[in-house]
Amino acid sequence: MFNHHDITRDACMLHGPLAHHGYDWWWHSFTAQDADTGEDKPFFIEFFLCNPSLGEDGPVLGQLPENQAAGKRPSYLMVKAGTWGPDACQLHRFFGWKQVELHGDAPYRIQAADCLAGETELRGSIAIAPEEAAAHPEWMCGAGQMSWELTVDKQIAFNVGYGASKPLRDAEAFAMYWHAEGMKSAYSGTVTFYGRRYTVTPEKSWGYADKNWGRDFTSPWVWLSSNCLTSKKTGKKLQNSVFDIGGGRPKVYFVPLDRRLLGVFYYEGKEYDFNFSKLHLMVKTEFSFEEKADEVVWHVRQENIHAAMETEVHCRKKDMLLINYEAPDGSKRHNRLWNGGNGWGVVRLYDKTADGLALVDEVEATHVGCEYGEYDE
């Protein structure tokens, strides 16, 4: 059963070796409506922790030339926020560890100045002038103004299980861990972006919340998820459904595995599990990513001994970001990490029968969160 909530996996994992060579982040994405026009607008908010045991009075930025020359690795809390669409932007606000109040155990809680993240709430603000962004490339972000006050109801989980059950003991086993406590989440509250107010309501937020932690990032890096789903069989919205696909090329004790993904579809209460780590399911996966002139396209096919799932997602490049992170060692390997929240596509779900594949449903997906990046090693 992958829909198993466990907030202990949302706790801070930066202990032992990961305290000085590790990251831990909590990601949130959702859709809001313009308070004046009602138009949809997607947003994201992330709290990213890096190398707490290397902390100094202020944030240590790994892309700052003088820090690189001195061999200093990054150490900070980075609050990342932004939007997708024609005015897509990512904003970064950094705090040194002496500025951070961290309750790392479950339920986790992180606070620095007016920025706060917890299991059920998010608050904060970022304001970066264009001249500041231009003068500080080490911030790895653009300019903009955004503030938010939100509550989060994490309704359906994707508990990956593999490698994450005893994170302290296995801290060096996997380069990157994943847990989606709220792969279907309902958000409530308000967002202000460049002075314009947006309302967030549970039934139209199409929300998502997960976390990753580890010592490095996967390549290729794949993520696809949506709970704004419509059945082509009935023409009705699927109110109790969500799919989530992630992974790429996991490393176990620094040894890369073949291209593999973790994927699930919670279809109106029934679980379809394509988690490659569950060996008894004999999961097979094929995936590709295509960059066209105006859009990017994901193709994923997964099957286990019981079922199969075919996913195709599109997203317009003009609506996306090349999202930025630096690894705990200070390197920035991903420089074309496509990230979007305006994706759309189709998911075909099949049961395996004695006569072959039987179509369960063909599902239209919108408000798809999507990501892909790859670098040469």
Which stretches does DSSP call E strand in 159-175? Answer: none
Indicate if the alpha-carbon torsion angle 4, 169, 219, 86 is positive or negative: positive
pLDDT tens digit at each of 377 positions of the chain: 999 999 999 999 999 999 999 999 999 999 999 999 999 999 999 999 999 999 999 999 999 999 999 999 999 999 999 999 999 999 999 999 999 999 999 999 999 999 999 999 999 999 999 999 999 999 999 999 999 999 999 999 999 875 433 444 444 556 789 999 999 999 999 999 999 999 999 999 999 999 999 999 988 999 999 999 999 999 999 999 999 999 865 544 444 456 678 999 999 999 999 987 787 888 899 999 999 999 999 999 999 999 999 999 999 999 999 999 999 999 999 999 999 999 999 999 999 999 999 999 999 999 999 999 998 76
What's this model's pTM, rounded to 2 decimal places? 0.95
Query: In sequence order, what DSSP letters do the residues of 58-110 get, joined into one string?
Result: S-B-TT-HHHHHTTPPPBEEEEEEEE-STT-EEEEEEE-GGG-EEE-SSSPEE
Q: Which domains does the chain have, with CATH numbers?
A: 7-373 (2.40.370.10)
86 exposure class (CB count in 10 Å sphere: 0-12, 13-18, 19+): exposed
| CA 233 vs CA 78, 226, 237, 346, 368: distances in Å | 44, 18, 11, 13, 20
The rounded Cα 122 to chain-centroid distance in angstroms is 16
Q: Are 207 and 187 in contact (CB under 8 A)?
A: yes
**How many whole angstroms separate alpha carbon 21 and alpha carbon 23?**
7
Instruction: Give the Cβ contact number of residue 375 at 10 Å.
Output: 15
User: What percentage of the chain exceeds 70 in pLDDT?
Assistant: 93
254 exposure class (CB count in 10 Å sphere: 0-12, 13-18, 19+): exposed
pLDDT tens digits for range 159-204: 987 543 344 444 455 678 999 999 999 999 999 999 999 999 999 9
Q: Residue 13: CB partners within 8 Å, gap ≥ 6?
A: 22, 24, 167, 168, 171, 177, 213
